[in-house]
Structure 1
């Protein structure tokens, strides 16, 4: 099964990423601020990205490449298969010395994710999924929660998501929690540790691709903020927000959201 072969490749690459990243000390790693307030990048991000590009494209030379830390172009748009990579998701957390940053690696075929890994080396948590084969955490099968209503639910979201203008009836009623890495948030939803996740901002494909498959292979739903299916390898690699959760929570979140455009 090609997706399982690709998954094995991603798992090995994710573990190597962890070895490289943890060889740097977050607070002392050399860092820069990206143009246009795009956030920080460190020498660890760049070292992981270089290894991933070399290793993955050598193993699959006909696959395209999309990474937060690589210059983008149009060549990938004509390629059926695509690596979608965030070398370190949660760079600010890495800089702060936190343990909740992750490596997010995925493969898309014809716009759909087929293999995915989210690895948190400081916590030794490796989420993995292949299309049609289910999702795992450290090799054990995982599934989304079966919470049925928003008042029972705890949802991962930033404070701005809770502002009343985003919800048709004001306070959506769920309990809010937060983790800095979008990929990790989706892994936690797939694990059933949290009941849903919402982000209303435009979201980069590399932040979402791996976690989206983990949620769906764990039995959940993961769409954009309007309920449309997520498609990857877009000319503009940003998605119109993301809503994830078990069937009931996902439906309730979509029903409660005011359908306005995602903010940049």
Structure 2
């Protein structure tokens, strides 16, 4: 009989959940039984089942919001709400790329307080309780953008800054690219949801990045409308200039 162990530390729990869900998704992919969209759907489903079961056991009093589970507005009465994306970057996961992730974030009082972003393709989990100094920025800045639909604001700002565009998949992979020294700015508009960026925001804030909407407003979580269509993650020294360039469009 397996003894259930309660993990008291929220950050440790987030990291273990994200890492394990990523390993589960990798196992589904490596089975070789599915491909493309079918593989993406299966990976999402299996990883989500694990996350929902584990959170129900480890944090039964907390609310949960997952991309892959039916939402219930009962979470709005909760101070603490786990916001998860079992496979962020389903297309990249299905294509057997490395730029996909698993997001496990904890919103406390509407703020992204704790988070972990697992990048299984890189065998890395970035977490809000284990930070490191940011690598130095290069002379020419780099901006991560969608592989398929770069936001017009991002393209405009990149041109104004003479920044290099770096196409990438998952929102979590883009955000973590800044922390890993592969990029400097992540500017997005055109549609996301709370599960796309709660965990990345928690990790990025812990590492000292500027994190906001593209008008400078704070990111807020556990709302009735879970749409969160735009964001800016960047080094703090670049934030004012980027926000001003967006405002001037």
TM-score when normalising by structure 2: 0.86
Distance (Å, rounded) in 2 between the aligned partners of 1:75 and 1:144? 42
Equivalent residue for 2:119? Answer: 120
- The structure where helix makes up a greater share of residues is 2
Distance (Å, rounded) in 2 between the aligned partners of 1:161 and 1:14? 27
Equivalent residue for 2:203? Answer: 214
TM-aligned CA distance change 1:213 to 1:252, over 3 Å: same
Distance (Å, rounded) in 1 between the aligned partners of 2:104 and 2:20? 12
SS at match of 1:143: coil
Of 80-89 and 189-198, deviating more is: 189-198
Question: How many angstroms does 1:122 deviate by?
Answer: 2.2
Equivalent residue for 1:223? Answer: 212
Distance (Å, rounded) in 1 between the aligned partners of 2:184 and 2:215? 19
Distance (Å, rounded) in 2 between the aligned partners of 1:109 and 1:86? 17
Distance (Å, rounded) in 2 between the aligned partners of 1:165 and 1:122? 26
Equivalent residue for 2:185? Answer: 196
TM-aligned CA distance change 1:124 to 1:71, over 3 Å: same
Count of aligned pairs: 241
TM-aligned CA distance change 1:30 to 1:72, over 3 Å: farther
Equivalent residue for 1:129? Answer: 128
SS at match of 1:82: strand
Checking the alignment, whether the CA contact within 8 Å between 2:151 and 2:190 is kept in structure 1 is no
TM-aligned CA distance change 1:119 to 1:258, over 3 Å: same
1:143 aligns with 2:143: no
TM-aligned CA distance change 1:120 to 1:161, over 3 Å: closer
Distance (Å, rounded) in 2 between the aligned partners of 1:203 and 1:9? 25
SS at match of 1:116: strand
Checking the alignment, whether the CA contact within 8 Å between 1:164 and 1:171 is kept in structure 2 is no
Task: Note the residue ranges of structure 1 that are not aligned, 5 or more in a row.
Answer: 34-39
1:153 aligns with 2:172: no
Distance (Å, rounded) in 2 between the aligned partners of 1:250 and 1:22? 36
1:1-264 aligned at under 5 Å gives the runs 5-25=9-29, 28-29=33-34, 41-130=40-129, 135-136=130-131, 141-143=132-134, 145-146=136-137, 152-158=140-146, 160-161=149-150, 163=152, 167=156, 171-258=160-247
Question: How many angstroms does 1:55 deviate by?
Answer: 0.5
Aligned Cα RMSD in Å? Answer: 2.7
Distance (Å, rounded) in 2 between the aligned partners of 1:118 and 1:28? 26
Distance (Å, rounded) in 2 between the aligned partners of 1:30 and 1:222? 35
